[in-house]
Structure 1
Amino acid sequence: MSKRISAKYKIDRRMGENIWGRPKSPVNKREYGPGQHGQRRRGKLSDYGEQLRAKQKLKGYYGNITEKQFRAIYKEATRQKGDTSEALIGLLERRLDAIVYRAKFVPTVFAARQFVNHGHIKVNGQRVTIPSFRCKEGDVIEVREKSRDMGLVLEAVESPERDVPDYIDVDHNKMTAKLVRIPQLGDVPYPVMMEPNLVVEFYSR
């Protein structure tokens, strides 16, 4: 397992942005980066630096995606018809852990990964424990009945921190969610600007 779970907010500080839009983010208090050199003035990034930063931000946003996984998603996006950057976002948003997070069954993307891993989620009636499982339009995702009263779940459902996007149809009484359609970049409620076009440029160098 990646060590990123224990150091997730370092991503915020390294980027200088509150990428999940959470009140707990240390960027709200300290805008400089982590570590002993964090307070040095940030220089202007090169084109490569901008592309690398865009990749790190998007990859970091979705939790524990490894470089190998992320590159594989990019390669799949290049094989799809149409805009590669839009296809990349669509593939990322179809991940099971991303949908569990978007549906507000858990408070963070990191919690979503763990929640799926621990067997609390069913897809179309079957238990799935793979966070990277790719959902299709019309798939029904539900929290297992035994898991619905967990404090983590109740906290997330009641949180006013974020809204459920319109490409996911959620019933919090039944704890079910349905992927209505595959979103485009403009549909995804990122708290900060994501630039998948720069990610595509990074990998196609």
Structure 2
Amino acid sequence: MSKRHESKYKIDRRLGVNLWGRPKSPINRREYGPGQHGQRRKKPSDFGLQLMAKQKLKGYYANIGEKQFRKIYQEAVRRKGDTGENLIGLLERRLDAVVYRMKFVPTPFAARQFVNHGHVLVNGRRLNVPSYQVKDNDVIEVRSKSKQMALVLEAIASQERDIPDYLEVDTDALKGRFVRQPQLADVPYPVQMEPNLVIEFYSR
């Protein structure tokens, strides 16, 4: 089971954004934080802005744990090129993120659980590690036994999201290919993500 320490919509309200762009989000009705002090708004400090940027990015990918997120950041720093772009690229290479982007499931939380429960094949081999880093040209598909699950059929039929062009997907076969690592501009985030502020947060 995926570790969900809090309701996903509480994340939306706490951050004050519709993080996944879903019509059910309470932010569509109440644009303020939860609790009796939720409507108090004060201008955040630089640290507050950096922390918010980190929480948005962590929350978007099914609320990744701090230890795991820091490891991804450290790998992004170690690689050549722009650290912010590397960070986004590594997050988008996670197997659960790829399964979500290919529209095999409706949410990132469902994607993590779907992978955990062994419903996904990578290059014909069953993998149940959501954090697995997908490589260019890897083929990801839903196991034949899992293709008629209501969750999968609902996600494929949904018009909420489009499949980005760094993936190739055959929606009939529930099979796709990871073509290339995306840039920040390629990733269809419903809200503005600021990986540069996340880098500043960790490099303090």
Give the TM-score category using the shorter length.
over 0.9
Aligned to 1:129: 128
How many Å apart are 1:61 and its aligned residue? 0.2
How many Å apart are 1:3 and its aligned residue? 3.2
CA separation in 2, counterparts of 1:43 and 1:2? 32
How many Å apart are 1:173 and its aligned residue? 1.1
Aligned to 2:8: 8
- 1:32-51 correspondence to structure 2 within 5 Å: 32-40=32-40, 42-51=41-50
CA shift digits 1:46-67 (9 cap, x unpaired): 1000000000000000003100
Equivalent AA in structure 1 for residue 3 of structure 2:
S
CA shift digits 1:70-118 (9 cap, x unpaired): 0000000000101000000000000000000000000000000000000
CA separation in 2, counterparts of 1:99 and 1:140? 11
- 1:145-156 correspondence to structure 2 within 5 Å: 145-156=144-155
Structure 1, unmatched stretches of 5+, are none
Find the residue that maps to 1:20 and give its secondary structure.
Answer: coil
Equivalent AA in structure 1 for residue 150 of structure 2:
G
Find the residue that maps to 2:181 and give its secondary structure.
Answer: coil
How many Å apart are 1:35 and its aligned residue? 1.6
CA separation in 2, counterparts of 1:178 and 1:34? 40
CA separation in 1, counterparts of 2:105 and 2:135? 21
Aligned to 1:144: 143
How many Å apart are 1:38 and its aligned residue? 1.0
Equivalent AA in structure 2 for residue 12 of structure 1:
D
CA separation in 1, counterparts of 2:151 and 2:46? 41
Find the residue that maps to 1:153 and give its secondary structure.
Answer: helix
Equivalent AA in structure 2 for residue 21 of structure 1:
G
Aligned to 1:64: 63
CA separation in 1, counterparts of 2:57 and 2:122? 25
Equivalenced residues, count: 203
How many Å apart are 1:15 and its aligned residue? 1.1
CA shift digits 1:136-186 (9 cap, x unpaired): 000000000010000000000010001000001000111101000000100
Aligned to 1:94: 93
How many Å apart are 1:2 and its aligned residue? 3.1
Find the residue that maps to 1:3 and give its secondary structure.
Answer: coil
Find the residue that maps to 1:85 and give its secondary structure.
Answer: helix
Measured on the aligned residues, the alpha-carbon RMSD in Å equals 0.8
Equivalent AA in structure 2 for residue 29 of structure 1:
R
CA separation in 2, counterparts of 1:33 and 1:50? 16
CA separation in 1, counterparts of 2:115 and 2:56? 23
State the TM-score, normalized to the length of structure 1: 0.97
Find the residue that maps to 1:137 and give its secondary structure.
Answer: coil
Find the residue that maps to 2:172 and give its secondary structure.
Answer: coil
How many Å apart are 1:36 and its aligned residue? 2.1
Find the residue that maps to 2:140 and give its secondary structure.
Answer: strand
